[in-house]
Chains A and B, each alone.
Chain A
Amino acid sequence: MSAVNKAVSRRRFQRKITERLAVGGMFLCAGVTIFFLLTILGYVLYHGAAAINWEFLTSLPVPAGESGGGIANALIGSILVVACAAAMAVPIGLGAAVFVNEFPTARFGRFVRFLAEVLTGVPSIVVGLFAYALVVRPMGGFSGFSGSVAYAFIMIPIILISAHEAFRLVPDSLREASLALGIPKWRTILSVVLPASSSALLTGVVLAVSRALGEAAPMLFTAFGNPFWNLNLGKPIATVPLLIYTYATAPYEDWHRKAWAASFVLLVVVLFTSVVTRAFLRGKSHE
């Protein structure tokens, strides 16, 4: 009798140990991930904060070897290129999402949504090649506009998917109430469905913008970069992520410091928007 008891208790002991090991292992997994986040953030913060100052944000780059200088042209360039991209991507993304959700005709809409999900998986470098073949070649030179086209291509599927999810959350009773009042469908969509989901739509757009702001690969052979002031989207233009790449891979110590500082700026912008929007999405989806 006691032998059986002993066997049972040993078995139970083993199972308990396995349980403990499994929990420990999984805790470690989560810990490792958070550790990476913290070290990356920490390093960018540490190196970036040391190199950043007012001059860095407001003056032009100087040639390698000279001290001082900044990334003002790249900051403005990034904003210009992304704004132009948003001007193209938002109407297409939102319009397509309206179509997919509000006119569920046959397979066309569902196919568009499916396509959007596939397009999110296109590597950003391939998007760059696409913009090169579509815009740079016919126009005969690198330009900020071609960069915008590349960014727009990245943003459209993100906006489309998030807008579609937002429209889905609008209760049908709202649409029905509006339609029952005799309001035509297009007015219903514009003045009931869109306002009801406006904050979630904005979230999606901001998410897409912050994603585009950080992309360097499509800019390599579209916007190309430019060490001088340029507000003309028809000409090569500097953008922050591309500038980080150029500075980080150059052999100058000073440029490395500037790359850290530029990353700091980029991270602050991107993570801030992501924190705000994700907090928002989370709050919504848990309701």
Chain B
Amino acid sequence: MQSEPQAIDRPFIQSGRSKASDVRVRNLGDRVFYVTARTLASCVIVLALLLVADLFRGAWESIRQFGLGFIVGTTWDPVARIFGTLPTIIGTLVKAAIGLLLAVPISIGAAVFITFYVPKWVRPIISYPIELLAGIPSIVFGLWGLFVMVPVIRTAQIWLKAHFGWFFLFDGPAVYGVGVLSGSVILAIMVIPIVTAISRDILLTVPRLQIEGMLALGATKWEAISKVALPYARVGLVGAVILGLGRAIGETMAITMVGGNAFTIIQSLFDPVHSMASQIASEFTEATYSLYVSSLIYVGLVLFGITICVSLLAQLLIWRLSKGKVAIFE
């Protein structure tokens, strides 16, 4: 689709460069317009560069002080002025991983259901609410999570601890309610719509003929899906999951409200543990001296680095399969 305008546009720009005066006037307008558009497009690149530069500049004091040891440091002591952020990195990754573990089967199941099992006219009825869920602001998830979900999870935690407390994952402070489990569940709920929507778009690119061929051979629908459609879409689905991972890692408000913000290394599912984002959110305005602020920005820089790597990987996988047909939104 994009290649056709190129064919007309190119000669036009170049041909305007010669001959009579009216052409030159027209050329001037085009020139100005071109330069303006190009400048605005450059703004996007400048902004991206500024983002990276500003994060580095903001974190510089801390980078100079702690270097890469910051990433593996396990002390966060504003009084002694020693900072290291390993526990929050682990907290973030564990919550995101458990969240995805819960979200992925549900998302892909829902996506397969919408794509292959539902008649075309019913599709919007199911996929529409899922898209609506994606539109709910993270702060509302946080509010709902804090007042509705956390009490439920607290009850479940107390029951689990009473009956399965010998298992190390359930051997934590169950009575808080807020903690790794709550954080993971809210992340799962928030990631489901994104992964579902992209998986559905990817599954729609599976050639219908292949599935029909399978059905013609006498396969049941599920056999056709599990043996043809899913393997075909595998790369893209992995991309969708990784995109969800990126969102889960960067998620801030909801995780700040239900993740339980304590600077410790995870030991059980019930521990209240900081994520990188929640640590920045909850401590930034209380940071009283510049090394403290700088260290929090350093945490932001690490978070940024991780999410960028993850989203680049996701984009690469999704593009490889869909060849640009699936646009990534939100």
Interface residues of chain A, those whose CB is within 8 Å of chain B, are 15-16, 18-19, 22-23, 25-30, 32-34, 36-40, 43-44, 91-92, 94-96, 98-104, 108-109, 111-112, 114-127, 129-130, 132-134, 137, 153, 156-158, 160-162, 165, 168, 172, 175-176, 179, 184-187, 189, 210-211, 213-217, 220-221, 224, 241, 244-245, 248-249, 256, 259-260, 263, 266-267, 270-271, 274-275, 278, 282
- Pick 21 A–B contacts, CB within 8 A, sort by A: A19-B221, A26-B109, A30-B109, A39-B148, A40-B133, A103-B13, A104-B6, A117-B328, A121-B314, A125-B281, A126-B303, A126-B304, A130-B51, A134-B54, A211-B330, A217-B252, A244-B140, A248-B143, A266-B137, A266-B139, A267-B137
The answer to whether A91 touches B126, judged by C-beta atoms less than 8 angstroms apart, is no
Residues of A contacting B34 in the complex (Cβ-Cβ under 8 angstroms): 103, 186
> Which listed segment binds A: B35-43, B70-78, B79-87, B165-173?
B35-43
Interface residues on B, range: 35 or more
Q: How far is the CA of A129 from the CA of B58 in the complex (A)?
A: 9
Of the candidates A38, A92, A168, A214, which one forms a contact with B140 in the assembled complex, judged by CB atoms under 8 Å apart? A214
Of the candidates A43, A91, A119, A267, which one forms a contact with B48 in the assembled complex, judged by CB atoms under 8 Å apart? A119
Given contacts A29-B113, A248-B146, A270-B136, contact A156 B131 (CB under 8 A): no
The answer to whether A216 touches B137, judged by C-beta atoms less than 8 angstroms apart, is yes
The answer to whether A121 touches B8, judged by C-beta atoms less than 8 angstroms apart, is no
**Chain B, range 271-330, C-beta contacts under 8 Å to A:** 277, 280-281, 284-285, 296-297, 300, 303-304, 307-308, 310-312, 314-315, 327-330
The answer to whether B136 touches A271, judged by C-beta atoms less than 8 angstroms apart, is yes
Residues of B contacting A263 in the complex (Cβ-Cβ under 8 angstroms): 139-140, 143
DSSP majority for the B interface?
helix
Residues of B contacting A179 in the complex (Cβ-Cβ under 8 angstroms): 8, 12
Residues of A contacting B1 in the complex (Cβ-Cβ under 8 angstroms): 168
Q: How far is the CA of A109 from the CA of B39 in the complex (A)?
A: 11
Residues of A contacting B32 in the complex (Cβ-Cβ under 8 angstroms): 186
The answer to whether A175 touches B8, judged by C-beta atoms less than 8 angstroms apart, is yes
The answer to whether B327 touches A29, judged by C-beta atoms less than 8 angstroms apart, is no
Given contacts A184-B29, A216-B137, A270-B136, contact A37 B57 (CB under 8 A): no
Of the candidates B12, B144, B147, which one forms a contact with A256 in the assembled complex, judged by CB atoms under 8 Å apart? B147
DSSP majority for the A interface?
helix
Residues of A contacting B112 in the complex (Cβ-Cβ under 8 angstroms): 26
Residue of A nearest to B220 (CB): A19
The answer to whether B37 touches A103, judged by C-beta atoms less than 8 angstroms apart, is yes
> Nearest Cβ in chain A — how far from B252, in angstroms?
4
**Chain B, range 44-71, C-beta contacts under 8 Å to A:** 44-45, 47-48, 50-51, 54-55, 57-58
Residues of A contacting B312 in the complex (Cβ-Cβ under 8 angstroms): 118
The answer to whether A186 touches B30, judged by C-beta atoms less than 8 angstroms apart, is yes
> Nearest Cβ in chain A — how far from B76, in angstroms?
17
The answer to whether A95 touches B131, judged by C-beta atoms less than 8 angstroms apart, is no
Residues of B contacting A28 in the complex (Cβ-Cβ under 8 angstroms): 109
Residues of B contacting A117 in the complex (Cβ-Cβ under 8 angstroms): 315, 328
Given contacts A172-B5, A189-B33, contact A16 B220 (CB under 8 A): yes
The answer to whether A15 touches B36, judged by C-beta atoms less than 8 angstroms apart, is no
Q: How far is the CA of A244 from the CA of B285 in the complex (A)?
A: 17
Residues of B contacting A125 in the complex (Cβ-Cβ under 8 angstroms): 250, 252, 277, 280-281, 300, 303
Given A22-B222, A102-B9, A179-B12, 5 more contacts at CB 8 Å? A33-B110, A38-B129, A126-B250, A241-B253, A245-B142
